[in-house]
Chains A and B, each alone.
Chain A
């Protein structure tokens, strides 16, 4: 777990004191809202439909139990007893009082957490594979490089006023769980022909109004050149980005307008100056930071496959959970345990203060005090002894955190939508709830297999709807909420954007439409083919006919 150094700690505390003065000036009428807005946004404070919303960074999705307890404390004492985990692995509180924000930020600073750069036209929270450092399929733990990038981009004077926000994601595994291809910069660790680990660098991906899958700008980048190369990408963007039009200001627009070859040429030209300079990452600094991510002191254990098989054969519910929510660990005798925040009828990503405390306690008892947040809005305990899985499962069941739906149809990504968000056009949460209530049969969910549904309440796409196997986008048609479906999206290593199925549907018709799509898939799929693979094989027409009727095919 990374700890702030002296500089980080001092700076974050000074920032809290500075913001306290700014809040006081605002409350005293010395600052107008226009003057104050950029100051509050720099600290992650938005004004939403019901109140101020505070967005708190969880760098690369890694949390210490004491940080989770602090979230619980804040939810209980400063909000309405719950928080919401987002697709940037962040936490949002929905009813924050401006006059209490400085105290809240001080509480957060005390456990080395901030809201700085969770908003604004700067480099946002850097996200990573939630299983970083633990996954069996991983090449290397990417978090040391996430942390280097975080430190480098934190209040970087040249990049604090970019044309638009800037999102970076990193994966150390060939199986992309961090959606790197839909980020402004995506970094994939892989080996070159000499067997050296480096990064494939992707650029210009993104969702929102104009979605794009990122282009590879560099096949392999030495880790020591990471900061220099990222700086060159940022510098070219900072110079070329469209500041005249907010809808065309993201890097994806520039990259796709000028073409990746031209963008690469500009970056390489700048990189000639930045590489081998002050930004060359020294080995000792990498080692210093890496030491914070050293694996915990694992016991020397053997895999418990047989013992677990025996329990599983006698307890079907446990077996189902093991199959769905427990992932292989790189260390024998340990397992990665996913905690579902997607129980039927619940709001994806929401968690109460009491459950935050309970998860922190479970992390201390079973997983070396560490918790991960996933961009799919679940939590993870990454270091659980296999011999303790059954005991842990019972506790998770009691907490309602053991819904065995990881990666299945009801493991829905959902933005806050019009129930909370000032930008939204339609309510997304009720759609997620309706779908999760319509598919409660666990046997059926397993039969349907791997399936993602992503829901956004507006085209800004916080719910990643373009890359859901089924994407659902809420739109406003003359004051009524409608929902457009897309099929065939994916954010993994074979990322794709979904295709629009047809005209928007009213809320009441969405669960039935999902049911028709699923039923059609079950008829046309071959063997154990995933929905996504079936879709890619048969195309959109059978699904369109199922939802809109045969006449739609002529339309």
Chain B
């Protein structure tokens, strides 16, 4: 199952995903899809480095599935983090 790296951005707490340029993007669609264990380890090392540099807090690998070509976290909790509260879809910016 593909994975992505999710974190909270330090300065505002916003949910962000590690993106292909090793930057952090608020939109899950802009995040890097991780297909192999080697990539997961390499990119988590990058994320941890960014945590040490006070860019993000608590980066974590999460499982995602592709629906209509778009990534969606498989766990409810991470889906809520990615797309916002299910009770306030009007606030979803992604």
Contacts and interface: CB of A to CB of B under 8 A. Distances in A.
Q: Do A and B come from one complex?
A: yes
A347 B87 contact: yes
B36 interface: no
B84 interface: yes
A330 B2 CA distance: 65
Contact of A29 (B53, B75, B80): B53
A536 interface: no
Interface string A11-46: 000000000000000111100010000000000000
B58 A33 contact: yes
B51 to A, nearest CB: 8
A311 interface: no
A99 interface: yes
Nearest to A347: B87
Contacts of A433: 87
A247 interface: no
Contacts of A27: 10-11, 54
A96 interface: yes
Nearest to B11: A99
Given A33-B58, A418-B77, A420-B85, A50 B13 contact: yes
A117 B8 CA distance: 24
Contacts of B12: 51-52, 97-99
A549 interface: no
Contacts of A80: 88, 91
Interface residues of B, number: 24
Nearest to A424: B77
Interface string A76-108: 000010000000000000011111000000000
A50 B10 contact: no
Interface in A186-244: none
A26 B86 CA distance: 31
B46 to A, nearest CB: 17
A529 interface: no
Nearest to A422: B77
Interface in B71-94: 74-77, 80-81, 84-88, 91
B54 A50 contact: no
Given A33-B58, A419-B85, A427-B86, A51 B76 contact: no
B15 interface: yes
Nearest to A31: B54
Interface in B3-27: 8, 10-15
Interface string B46-64: 0000010110011000000
B57 A33 contact: yes
A449 interface: no
Interface in A105-143: none
A98 B75 contact: no
Quick one: which of A49, A95, A98, A347 has the most chain B CB within 10 A? A49
A332 interface: no
B81 A49 contact: yes
A483 B56 CA distance: 34
A429 B87 contact: yes
A51 B13 contact: yes
Quick one: which of B53, B81, B85 has the most chain A CB within 10 A? B85
Contact of B8 (A28, A51, A347, A419): A51
A415 to B, nearest CB: 13
Interface string A447-460: 00000000000000
A407 interface: no
Nearest to A479: B75
A50 B76 contact: no
A481 interface: yes
Quick one: which of B8, B15, B75 has the most chain A CB within 10 A? B8
Nearest to B90: A80
B40 to A, nearest CB: 20
B86 A50 contact: no
A47 interface: yes
B10 A26 contact: yes
A430 interface: yes
Contacts of A430: 86-87
Given A51-B15, A80-B88, A427-B76, 8 more contacts: A26-B54, A27-B54, A47-B57, A95-B13, A99-B12, A418-B76, A419-B87, A427-B86
Interface of B: 8, 10-15, 51, 53-54, 57-58, 74-77, 80-81, 84-88, 91
Closest 9 CB pairs of A and B: A51-B13, A419-B85, A97-B12, A52-B13, A29-B54, A429-B87, A99-B11, A49-B81, A419-B87
14 contacts: A29-B53, A33-B57, A48-B13, A50-B15, A50-B84, A80-B91, A99-B11, A419-B80, A419-B85, A427-B87, A430-B86, A433-B87, A479-B74, A481-B76
